[in-house]
Structure 1
Amino acid sequence: MTLDGFAARPLGFVGPLDLSWRDRSAAVEVVGQRITAEVTAIDLDQGLARLSMAATEDSELWAYLKPLRVGATLSGRVVSIERFGVFVALDDGPDHPVHPGVGFITIPELSWRHVERASDVVQVGQRVSCEFLQFDTWQGEARLSLRAAQPDEVPPQPKRL
């Protein structure tokens, strides 16, 4: 892709994880088609800018997620329990355009102990306080850890002599 105001050589690219949040099937763009995207990183060695089309789809969501820092504590309410994890509506967070909540906790991040079902740990409507792990630009959500916000429940292993 060429960027407006620059020479005709390609200067930017949109990776597969930075395409549309809303319609993954419409991800193929036509050569020469104009797009709107945000610069998310610059590779000085290659002279390329990494771009995100997803970042421009919901500016309120992107503005909320982008400044979050690893290790920050976020609170919210469990809004949906799925077989693959838990969606959380974060306090002061915007609505997500696709998912039931802006925050997401994978099953392994629910507890220090082995968990078969998320409903063994949390219930819909329950308030939770979690540690922020990362901004998932592919899904447009805050990846969270409930277990990181709790003391380690795994008992110490006996020492072998």
Structure 2
Amino acid sequence: MKPTRIWDVLSLALLAAVATWLLVRVWYGSIPPIPVYAGASLYPVAVIETVLAFVIRARIRDHAIGPGPRQLHPITAARTAALAKASALVGAASAGVWAGLLVFLWPQRSELRAAVSDSPGAIVGLVAAVLLVVAALWLEHCCRTPDVPPEEPAP
């Protein structure tokens, strides 16, 4: 599996931001109010993935890879890398949605009271999504196999 490219993450976020901005421009009046905790569900996922990254990094650094107890099974590392890749893309899409909403809301704050009350929820969601992307990319990086120095030939 190839590592997640930053370009893919940024492209997805931009696409989601533009699509959200266009949709919100048309249907903002029919969207329910956005509570402050609307995007907060991504914070625990980001924390879990950060902790998992440090655990996996330590096991790989200590060469504790294998099927035994207190070892990191290679299949677990592969599944965790897949989780990290998926989380990075979900976080990027979420960040784009919250950013697109904020791009619409910010100029409207002087005219619409609803834009003022919806902005904190969008900011919380955007920060959570960005933290998830960072945590997921860090986790994916920690799941990489370590570079093995080439063995020197026996004299």
User: Does the TM-score normalized on the shorter chain lie above 0.5?
Assistant: no
Higher strand proportion (structure 1 or 2) = 1
Higher relative contact order (CA 8 A, sep 6+): 2
What TM-score results when the alignment is normalised by the length of structure 1? 0.24
Larger relative helix fraction: 2
Per the normalisation by structure 2, the TM-score is 0.24
